[in-house]
Amino acid sequence: MRATVMYGAGDIRIENVPDPTVIEPSDAVVRVTRACICGSDLWPYKTLEHSETGRVMGHEAIGVVEVVGADVRTLKQGDLVVMPFAFSDGTCMFCRDGLHTACVHGGFFGTGVVDGAQAEAVRVPQADGTLFVLPVGEDDALMPSLLTLSDVMGTGHHAAVAAKVGPGKTVAVVGDGAVGLCGVIAAKRLGAEQIILLGRHADRIALAREFGATDIVSARGNEAVERVRELTDGYGVHSVLECVGLEQSELTSIEIARPGGAVGRVGVPQDETMPASRPAFYNNISVSGGPAPVRAYIDELLPDVLEGRIDPGRVFDRVIGLEEVPEGYRAMNDREAIKVMVKP
């Protein structure tokens, strides 16, 4: 089959690789009907050390179950499924607590351990626990929004949950990528009264406003902090959704939280240490978040997608075939595209 292989920073090739097969009896093989490129794929795109073997990329997909292993009980050939970015058994103590990204039998697609989904097909470990059967057809008009349940919508929602967003709260979303934009949707959905987006790209800001952002701050650093304070009677916000992962965005997130506020982090941190330890301490700010257990959130978010209450699929502004994936990475990295969908 054809698949996206990253050999190092900036070196992405579409190549023939062996077809995925059932290895463990709990596996399924899924034919990919939709995949996409993630903002987090851009970190290895910029920094991955060169290797001879390469890494099959991609962790977000919808597809059709082709083969199931002998132990798979809840799936059958022909099921249309959404694949969260992490696989999980659905039964261990962490999965039962709703933290599927800490599953004792879990792991992440496209990180070199298990091959990714920017490909014609993908092997899915722990298929019963991982895959969620969708009640629609393969070419349903809701496909873009359903695809966001594999990562960005669930991740934006996780940021909002970790940041304790609730009715009447003031919220800031740091970052205007697809996750930040989904964070705006999530904050509005959970009842936030004021939603301030910190972002600088005109197309993304326009979409954020349509999703429910009430204010936009395009400044950075201290100026951004001052601006958010001005918008909140000088206090800062109750809830901050940190959707970037850089030192500056983490620092800003803590500085714009009001005393007793909360920061929900979903941007993959690019540094070992977290800034602003002292302001976080003296202002009693909760800092939470991490890899989103998107599998746990599908039950809650899917009805809102199916019934049209939220439309996170609007973050996709480009659709490409598998052979064009290297160009898709470039377009996202150069901020020409917000998020790129792939139809293998």
* Closest alpha carbon to 289 in 325, 227, 244: 244
Per-residue contact flags (x/-) with Zn ion for residues 103 to 142, judged by CB under 5 A: x---------------------------------------
State which residue, 71 or 271, has the beta carbon closest to Zn ion.
Answer: 71
Contact 32, 327 (CB under 8 A): no
d(C-alpha 245, C-alpha 128), whole Å: 32
d(C-alpha 198, C-alpha 217), whole Å: 5
Kindly tell me which residue out of 28, 38, 65, 92 binds Zn ion, with binding defined by CB under 5 A.
92
Shortest distance in whole angstroms from residue 130 CB to Zn ion: 10
In the numeric block, which tokens belong to residue 28? 């399924």
Kindly tell me which residue out of 89, 115, 151, 242 binds Zn ion, with binding defined by CB under 5 A.
89
State which residue, 69 or 275, has the beta carbon closest to Zn ion.
Answer: 69
Kindly tell me which residue out of 88, 101, 148, 253 binds Zn ion, with binding defined by CB under 5 A.
88
State which residue, 60 or 89, has the beta carbon closest to Zn ion.
Answer: 89
d(C-alpha 145, C-alpha 305), whole Å: 7
State which residue, 174 or 294, has the beta carbon closest to Zn ion.
Answer: 294
d(C-alpha 61, C-alpha 120), whole Å: 11
State which residue, 96 or 309, has the beta carbon closest to Zn ion.
Answer: 96
Kindly tell me which residue out of 83, 95, 332, 338 binds Zn ion, with binding defined by CB under 5 A.
95
Shortest distance in whole angstroms from residue 92 CB to Zn ion: 3
What DSSP string describes 28-86? EEEEEEEEE--GGGHHHHHHPPP-SS-EE----EEEEEEEE-TT--S--TT-EEEE-SE
Residues that bind Zn ion (CB under 5 A): 88-89, 92, 95, 103
